[in-house]
């Protein structure tokens, strides 16, 4: 009788050993029960590792944004100023831990004397943690990482980005809209970028898939000081 070959998860020397493209293997489709249980064990341990590293962050703001902007770009420099001011106001700055906007926000936090944290993701094209992190945790699974980026923060600031950033923005907005998390501040910065999405917003309102009141889930500003005021005011109301 031919035995079913073991999955990479089951062949790994230890549950915490990295497995190339582990999430892709998991999402490929139906597998046998033993393979699924092996993946469940790895996912559970990723959560435990995240809890142990991120569980004592104090007052924290998550900054989302593209990995593709470099130093000198207007959005990189905006994120850097933002990270510095957040740190000066006593916030821990939490990002996805990679380059671009994430690096800029973490860099600003370090320059402002604050705590700079990253939740990095292992990708086929490696995303290395940026050099401005006091602490970071690396994840195999995007969905575990996204939970960690939301779970420990009392505010969220989104700068321009691609599909991943938009996914983070809309998932956070959905969690607030549905009451799964408290009505923490969700602020979009980089108006020239986000204004290009107003037609999508208007179409959703016209078709009734969202209501006018749902627009109150997030605010939009390019002013760092105004973002800080929104964080302080809305956080106080949510307390």
* Strand 135-139 to 156-158 pairing: unpaired
| Tally of structural domains, the chain | 1
Residue 239 has what pLDDT? Answer: 45
222 φ/ψ angles, rounded to the nearest 5 degrees: -110, 0
Residue 238 has what pLDDT? Answer: 45
Q: Judge whether 18 lies within some domain.
A: no
Q: Judge whether 79 lies within some domain.
A: yes
Residue 70 has what pLDDT? Answer: 97
Classify each residue of 96-114 as buried b or exposed e, where b means 16 or more C-beta atoms within 10 Å of its C-beta: bbbbbbbbbbbbbbbbbeb
Query: Residue 224 maps to which CATH number?
Result: 3.40.50.450
pLDDT average per 10 residues of sequence, the chain (239 residues): 49 57 84 90 94 91 97 98 98 97 98 97 78 94 95 96 94 93 92 83 89 87 96 63
Residue 4 has what pLDDT? Answer: 47
For residues 197 and 144, what is the distance between their CA atoms, to the nearest angstrom?
28
Residue 24 has what pLDDT? Answer: 84
Q: Judge whether 15 lies within some domain.
A: no
Helix ranges, 3-73 (H) = 8-11, 22-27, 33-54
Q: Judge whether 88 lies within some domain.
A: yes
Q: Judge whether 8 lies within some domain.
A: no
Q: Judge whether 9 lies within some domain.
A: no
Q: Judge whether 62 lies within some domain.
A: yes
Residue 13 has what pLDDT? Answer: 44
For residues 42 and 63, what is the distance between their CA atoms, to the nearest angstrom?
27
Residue 10 has what pLDDT? Answer: 47
Q: Judge whether 198 lies within some domain.
A: yes
Domain interval for residue 209: 51-238
């Amino acid at each position: 009788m031919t035995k079913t070959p073991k999955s990479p998860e089951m062949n790994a020397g230890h549950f915490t050993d990295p497995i190339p493209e582990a999430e892709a293997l998991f999402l490929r489709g139906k597998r046998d029960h033993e393979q699924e249980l092996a993946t469940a064990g790895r996912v559970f341990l990723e959560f435990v590792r995240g809890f142990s590293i991120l569980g004592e962050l104090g007052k924290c703001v998550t900054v989302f944004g593209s990995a593709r902007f470099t130093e000198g770009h207007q959005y990189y420099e905006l994120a850097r100023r933002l990270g510095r001011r957040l740190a000066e106001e006593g916030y821990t700055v939490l990002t996805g831990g990679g380059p671009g906007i994430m690096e800029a926000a973490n860099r600003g936090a370090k320059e402002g004397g604050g705590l700079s944290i990253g939740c990095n993701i292992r990708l086929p094209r490696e995303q290395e943690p940026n050099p401005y992190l006091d602490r970071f945790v690396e994840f195999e699974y995007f969905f575990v990482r996204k939970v960690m980026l939301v779970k420990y923060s009392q505010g969220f600031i989104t700068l321009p980005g691609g599909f991943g950033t938009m996914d983070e923005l809309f998932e956070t907005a959905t969690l607030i809209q549905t009451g799964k998390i408290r009505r923490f501040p969700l602020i979009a910065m980089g108006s020239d970028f986000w204004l290009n999405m107003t037609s999508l917003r208007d179409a959703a309102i016209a078709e009734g898939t969202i209501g006018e009141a749902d627009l109150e889930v997030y605010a939009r500003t390019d002013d760092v000081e105004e973002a800080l005021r929104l964080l302080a005011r809305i956080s106080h109301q949510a307390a």
